[in-house]
Chain A
Amino acid sequence: KQEVTQIPAALSVPEGENLVLNCSFTDSAIYNLQWFRQDPGKGLTSLLLIQSSQREQTSGRLNASLDKSSGRSTLYIAASQPGDSATYLCAVSLKETSGSRLTFGEGTQLTVNP
């Protein structure tokens, strides 16, 4: 059974700092990995999707990397802003399901202080 762990559970940083969020998974036979953002009381917003054949994806100030062999992904946020405050979740789908089912981590709650 795939298990996804996100560390730390919560993180507080001053505005402008570069930061890294971590995601680890137990089964390396993945189809893809996806990072989401969730604001309080809202649904999940897709940030970045990394296919199993890729090593990283970038969108603006966000960069996500994938290392299947070690079962890890990182989400790098450059020059953090108060508007980045949210919970960040990673989710992994397995090859055996052709990516049809995702397993989620419990998220990292990020607070960026002005």
Chain B
Amino acid sequence: DAGITQSPRHKVTETGTPVTLRCHQTENHRYMYWYRQDPGHGLRLIHYSYGVKDTDKGEVSDGYSVSRSKTEDFLLTLESATSSQTSVYFCALRAGWTGELFFGEGSRLTVL
């Protein structure tokens, strides 16, 4: 158990509303990631962070922003949610030099 918690675990919202998903780790890992998982597309990287205030884009970053003001928290924000952002969102962290990834339980987001 890498001590990752995601919140909320489930959320239903309407098109055009802002949404923030939170990922919290209890350890002190430097790298954290946000992925989305969709049928037919698998897991795709949205954004990742390699330290406090250090973030970079992944392959599907449009419409998403992230922030990392503390080592333990990595926030994913949808400024104005769209139906195409209905998905399951997973946070992950990288443990040490091996590069092994550990995942949270996921946040299921439905945008109506």
Interface residues of A (CB under 8 A from B): 31-32, 34, 36, 41-46, 49, 51, 89, 91, 93, 99-102, 104-107
Contact = CB atoms under 8 A, between A and B. Distances in A.
Given A43-B90, A46-B101, A49-B98, A100 B43 contact: no
A43 B101 contact: no
Interface of B: 31, 40-45, 48, 50, 58, 90, 92, 94, 98-106
Q: Chain B's interface: helix, strand, loop or mixed, by majority?
A: strand
B25 to A, nearest CB: 14
A27 to B, nearest CB: 15
A89 B92 CA distance: 15
B106 to A, nearest CB: 5
Contacts of B41: 106
A107 B99 CA distance: 20
